Amino acid sequence: MKRIITLLSAAMLCLVLMTACKSTQQATTSVTYPEWLQLQMKVLNDRHSEITLFELDGAPYYAVFVKGPDKSFDMNRTTIYDTNGNVYLTLGGPRRPNEKELNFFQNADNKGVIWMSDIAREKSNSLHVMP
């Protein structure tokens, strides 16, 4: 009987520790984006758009992609902003990348897409549906 009580106590302790670790982990992974970026997210939510986080020389950069009208890839635009919301690069249209653009993409670390508009998310989900 004593062993059963000891085992149950150990199991309860493990559950408490696992729950505490999980809640701490969740709290530290929540991210707050700059106010200007949150505003961009609200404004762009009704358009097909995505935001990708890059890191260059230890500083975050946000690539805001906005899709143009269908069948007009030359109207797609990506604007890369520094952490203060200043335009760092503007990409789009049928032209060759310049040296600053090449340097950015060769040296920046792509951290992945951090936000998708509702429209982009719906389109992305519809592409992954299995028949």
pLDDT tens track for 11-30: 443 333 343 333 333 333 46
Please say if the pLDDT value at position 67 is more than 90.
no
Q: What's the pLDDT band for 49 if we cut at 50, 70, 90? A: very high
Per-residue pLDDT band for 43 (boundaries 50, 70, 90) equals very high
Domain ranges of the chain: 1-30, 35-127
Cα–Cα distance between 5 and 24 in angstroms, integer?
29
Cβ proximity of 72 and 53 under 8 Å: no
- The reported pLDDT for the residue numbered 66 is 92
Give the pLDDT of residue 13.
37
Q: For residue 60, is pLDDT > 80?
A: yes
Pick the more confident residue, 1 or 83.
83
pTM: 0.69
Q: DSSP string spanning the chain?
A: -HHHHHHHHHHHHHHHHHHHHHHHHHHHH-----HHHHHHHHHHTTSSEEEEEEEETTEEEEEEEE--STT-GGG-EEEEEETTS-EEEEEESSS---HHHHHHHHHSEEEEEEEE-HHHHHHHHHHT---
Per mean pLDDT, which range of 44-58, 60-74, 81-95 is the poorest?
A: 60-74
Q: Are 61 and 55 in contact (CB under 8 A)?
A: yes
Query: pLDDT-based confidence at 41, cuts 50/70/90?
Result: very high
Quote the pLDDT of residue 119. 87
